[in-house]
């Protein structure tokens, strides 16, 4: 009886194991030999027919590769220094159909087949929309906005399994479901696009909350809800007229990334005898007097100890990154990329990468982070300029740090020949270097910068001055989450955690809910209503999206500019003085001569006489001019 029982039990366990193996989609041999495949799938009908598949597993280079699939040409498998890798090259011609492409691996008498998925592309009508000056971006750090699913706060097996909302550098539990549940709130602000700080897996032992040390380029972090939650967020945002901006990093990954843990070849990352940090000096890339050492340390130095610097000048690294970015556009219908640490990557790579993306998706939106000083430095990295340079990365827009510095100076600086609000005037006067400056992204703060309400000295007039400028000057405005409810803090220079506070009300059990009017203070509601009013107004104002800009030299610390087209004219008056002033408008007859009245935005109050306009201290008036 015991023997029969044991045999039956063994058969049951064997049957169960076979069922598990069949459900997994791969045989035991495949699982043992092939542990990683990137990209996990591809599509037929791509404009670029080349594909390089990375296969990873123990001693995988000992296997020979063959592929027999209609419309696909196998062009070779590359063995590298590390015997655990094979780089398989194929050409997927226009005649190829969707299906499972058999990748046959052979070693002596042993062989196995990996069925690689080739998918049908989705239609592009209304799917990938790009970005332009009609957009208004809302930046969210997913871990700090809202916790829609507490069950994924801690994922066993990951390296960081703690939640501590009292520590700015620990995970707090925000996720994609939480953001999705707050889409009505975001849409009510007039927002047309959401930029999320990186959502891919960050399985790092510490500070994994911010997303910038990615350990898996193809999978959304499970603590954010995984890939399905990301697709759900994109679909529901799109249903509310909101685009998706994905944060992309070419410069580095996390040091716990699986490919860093077992490098394919030594120069996959930039190697140094000892830890060498980048200088963060982008000017070395075009300085005619720069030393070669300074030039090299900027691009090849590591951003931080836990962020290995990728060697994009190596063609396999370049292909790995480029294919991943194309995969996300195709897989998720991403509308645009924000490119982190753009200036630090290899210039040759950025040129070929930009061409590959724009060739495949001409309508795609991109803007690069260029945290640099000076318009010429910034413009060097722009892909659409009027200046002669040795580099063209096809980048249609960038983060306009020069205007960020300028608005801060306008709020707080003393008026002088080049100081105070004059900084805005001079910075914009340099727009001749760009062919289309309207695609630059303008901002008042972000996840790395002191909160604008704090920078404004918690002065509501100065805060509104900055918001009014953001919504009316040229470019694509970007608002950092919580700015609308006066979240504050200065950078503590310890890593920026204090700039990334939780949005009150985003967590079950929060004492106050600032997503709702009744949860906000009177001052917070004043700020919220002003931001919301301008956002809703801007959303339908073509004159602000595509109209021309005319600025007048600031006088007596008052700056006046106009946005105008053939039908409409908006006048903006910034009084940067610490006292009320009355502006005589005769000087602005060039733009005002056919108008006699004005409406204040967003309050709707009206002026019946615009020959002289009174304006409060440290404040801005936005006026729609009427005949």
Instruction: Give pLDDT, residue 29.
Output: 55
Judged by DSSP in three states, 158 sits in coil
Structural Rg of the chain based on CA atoms: 27
Q: What are phi and psi of 15, to 5 degrees?
A: -60, -40
Q: State what percent of residues in the chain have pLDDT above 90.
A: 92
Catalytic hit among 38, 207, 369, 484: 369
Instruction: Give pLDDT, residue 126.
Output: 78
Q: State what percent of residues in the chain have pLDDT above 70.
A: 95
Residue 68 annotated to the active site = no
Q: How confident is the model at residue 124 (pLDDT cuts 50, 70, 90)?
A: low
Q: Is the pLDDT of residue 8 over 70?
A: no
Residue 526 annotated to the active site = no
pLDDT, tens only, 50-76: 999 999 999 999 999 999 999 999 999
pLDDT, tens only, 580-614: 999 999 999 999 999 999 999 999 999 999 999 99
Q: Are 200 and 220 in contact (CB under 8 A)?
A: yes
Query: Token pair of 182, please?
Result: 């707050």
pLDDT, tens only, 330-346: 999 999 999 999 999 99
Q: What are phi and psi of 92, to 5 degrees?
A: -105, 100
Q: What are phi and psi of 215, to 5 degrees?
A: -115, -5
Query: Token pair of 370, please?
Result: 């260029």
Q: Which domains does the chain have, with CATH numbers?
A: 1-33 (no CATH), 34-119 (2.60.40.10), 137-540 (3.20.20.80), 547-626 (2.60.40.1180)
Q: How confident is the model at residue 388 (pLDDT cuts 50, 70, 90)?
A: confident
Instruction: Give pLDDT, residue 2.
Output: 44
Alpha helices (runs of H) in 368-512, residue ranges in sequence order: 375-380, 401-412, 422-429, 452-455, 460-472
pLDDT, tens only, 18-52: 333 333 444 445 558 999 999 999 999 999 999 99
| Distance, CA of 623 to CA of 606 (rounded, Å) | 9
Judged by DSSP in three states, 187 sits in helix
**HEC readout, 87-140:** EEEEEECCCCCCEEEEEEEEECCEEEEEEEEEECCCCCCCCCCCCCCCCCEEEE
Catalytic hit among 168, 216, 255, 340: 340
Lowest mean pLDDT among 28-42, 109-123, 131-145, 460-474: 28-42
Q: How confident is the model at residue 424 (pLDDT cuts 50, 70, 90)?
A: very high
Mean pLDDT, residues 221-248 = 98
| Distance, CA of 595 to CA of 570 (rounded, Å) | 11
Mean pLDDT, residues 450-459 = 98
Mean pLDDT, residues 256-281 = 97
**HEC readout, 481-492:** CCHHHCCCCCCC
Mean pLDDT, residues 166-191 = 98
pLDDT, tens only, 160-170: 999 999 999 99
Give the predicted TM-score (pTM) of the model: 0.94
| Distance, CA of 358 to CA of 167 (rounded, Å) | 41
Question: Which pairs with CB-CB distance under 8 Å and at least 24 residues apart come from 546-549?
Answer: 546/133, 546/134, 546/438, 549/428, 549/473, 549/474
């Amino acid at each position: 009886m015991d023997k029969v029982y044991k045999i039956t039990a063994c058969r049951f366990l064997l049957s169960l194991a076979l069922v598990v193996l069949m459900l997994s989609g791969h045989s035991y041999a495949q699982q043992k030999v092939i542990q990683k495949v990137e990209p996990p799938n591809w599509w037929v009908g791509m404009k670029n027919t080349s594909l390089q598949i990375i296969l990873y597993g123990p001693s995988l280079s000992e296997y020979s590769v063959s592929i027999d699939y209609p419309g696909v040409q196998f062009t070779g498998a590359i063995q590298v220094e590390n015997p655990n890798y094979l780089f398989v090259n194929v050409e997927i011609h226009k005649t190829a159909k969707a299906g499972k492409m058999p990748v046959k691996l052979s070693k002596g008498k042993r062989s196995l087949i990996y069925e690689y998925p080739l998918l049908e592309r989705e239609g592009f009508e209304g799917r990938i929309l790009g970005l332009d000056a009609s957009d208004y971006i809302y930046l969210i750090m997913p871990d700090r906005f809202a916790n829609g699913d507490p069950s994924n706060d801690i994922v066993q097996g990951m390296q960081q399994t703690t939640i501590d909302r009292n520590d700015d550098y620990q995970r707090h539990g925000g996720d994609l479901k939480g953001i999705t549940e707050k889409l009505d709130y975001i849409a009510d602000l007039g927002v047309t696009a959401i930029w999320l700080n990186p959502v891919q897996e960050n399985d790092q032992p510490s500070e994994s909350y911010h997303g910038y040390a990615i350990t898996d380029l193809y999978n959304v972090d499970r603590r954010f809800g995984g890939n399905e939650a990301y697709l759900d967020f994109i679909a529901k945002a799109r249903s509310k007229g909101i685009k998706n901006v994905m944060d992309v990093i070419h410069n580095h990954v996390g040091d716990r990334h699986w490919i860093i843990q077992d490098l394919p070849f030594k120069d996959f990352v930039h190697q140094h005898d000892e830890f060498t940090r980048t200088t963060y000096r982008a000017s070395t890339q075009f300085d005619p007097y720069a030393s070669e050492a300074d030039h090299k340390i900027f691009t090849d130095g590591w951003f931080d100890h836990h962020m290995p610097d990728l060697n994009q000048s190596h063609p396999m690294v370049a292909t790995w990154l480029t294919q991943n970015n194309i995969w996300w556009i195709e897989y998720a219908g991403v509308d645009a990329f924000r490119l982190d640490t753009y200036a630090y990557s290899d210039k040759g790579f950025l040129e070929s990468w930009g061409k590959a993306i724009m060739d495949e998706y001409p309508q795609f939106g991109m803007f690069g982070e260029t945290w640099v000083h000076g318009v010429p430095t910034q413009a060097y990295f722009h892909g659409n300029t009027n200046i002669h340079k040795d580099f063209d990365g096809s980048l249609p827009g960038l983060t306009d740090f020069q205007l960020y510095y300028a608005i801060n100076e306008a709020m707080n600086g003393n008026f002088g020949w080049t100081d105070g609000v004059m900084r805005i005037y001079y910075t914009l006067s340099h727009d001749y270097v760009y062919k289309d400056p309207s695609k630059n992204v303008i901002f008042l703060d972000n996840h790395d910068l002191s909160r604008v309400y704090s920078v404004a000295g918690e002065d509501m007039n100065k805060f509104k001055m900055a918001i009014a400028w953001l919504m009316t000057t040229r470019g694509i405005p970007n608002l950092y989450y919580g700015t609308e409810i006066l979240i504050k803090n200065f950078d503590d220079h310890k890593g920026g955690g204090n700039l990334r506070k939780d949005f009150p009300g985003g967590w079950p059990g929060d004492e106050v809910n600032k997503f709702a009017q009744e949860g906000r203070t009177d001052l917070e509601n004043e700020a919220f209503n002003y931001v919301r009013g301008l956002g809703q107004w801007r959303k339908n104002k073509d004159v602000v999206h595509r109209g021309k800009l005319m600025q007048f030299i600031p006088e007596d610390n008052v700056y006046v500019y106009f946005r105008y087209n053939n039908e409409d004219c908006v006048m903006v008056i910034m009084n940067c003085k610490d006292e009320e002033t009355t502006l005589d408008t005769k000087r602005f007859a060039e733009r005002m001569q056919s108008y006699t009245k004005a409406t204040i935005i967003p309050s709707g109050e009206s002026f019946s006489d615009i020959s002289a306009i009174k304006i409060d201290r440290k404040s801005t008036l936005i006026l729609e001019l009427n005949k």
